[in-house]
Amino acid sequence: MVWLGIIGILLGGGYILSRPCLFVKAGGSRVAVVQAAPGTEFSIRFIHSVQKTPVEENLAVDADGHSFVLHSTKYQSFGVGLPFLEGEGDFRQEGDYYIMDNMERHFPSLTLRTGVGTKLTLFLGGQEYRIYESYPPGTPVEIYVNSLGKGLLS
């Protein structure tokens, strides 16, 4: 009977450790771990380093469950690196903002960096992570999906 309990615990632990999670690391430290599934959404907000205006990028875990897809970008002024071409998605203006929907750009993982005055902030799993408040400019920020067990070891 004891062996059945031990086997149950091992199987349950194995199941939990194999679950996909979205990981955020900054400067080598774990910032967030959120259970992930295809469609799990999150946003990246920052101040554009050249235009000095807010930008919001809306992403989700891709259908494969291991990568990301950028669905839309919202920003206030045209500038370097900001989408505006017809082939990049569906462009529209809403008040003071320009929005590019249906971008559908795919990324296996994301690596960002904190910057001077960029106020890098993540919105993930109902939480706000103000990365810029805890990490100095130039800090690499990695966002990726992995199993809980592998992600905790990396």
pLDDT tens-digit series, residues 1-12? 554 445 444 344
pLDDT tens-digit series, residues 60-85? 999 999 999 999 999 887 655 565 66
What is the pLDDT, as a whole number, of residue 14? 47
What is the pLDDT, as a whole number, of residue 87? 74
pLDDT band of 111, cuts 50, 70, 90: very high
For residues 122-147, average pLDDT? 95
For residues 118-136, average pLDDT? 95
Which has more confidence, 141 or 28? 141
Which two three-digit tokens encode residue 127?
Answer: 């939480």
What is the pLDDT, as a whole number, of residue 35? 92
Identify the CA nearest to 129 among candidates 36, 41, 44.
44
Q: Is the pLDDT score of 133 beyond 80?
A: yes
**DSSP letters spanning the chain:** -HHHHHHHHHHHHHHHHHSEEEEEEETTEEEEEEE--TT-EEEEEEE-TTT-SEEEEEEEE-TTSSSEEEEEEEESS--TT---SGGGSEEEEETTEEEEE---EEES-EEEE--TT---EEEETTEEEEHHHHS-TT-EEEEEEEEHHHHHH-
Distance CA(90)–CA(98), nearest Å, equals 11
Global pTM value = 0.82
Which has more confidence, 98 or 61? 61
pLDDT tens-digit series, residues 10-38? 344 444 456 889 999 999 899 999 999 99
Which has more confidence, 53 or 79? 53
For residues 136-145, average pLDDT? 96
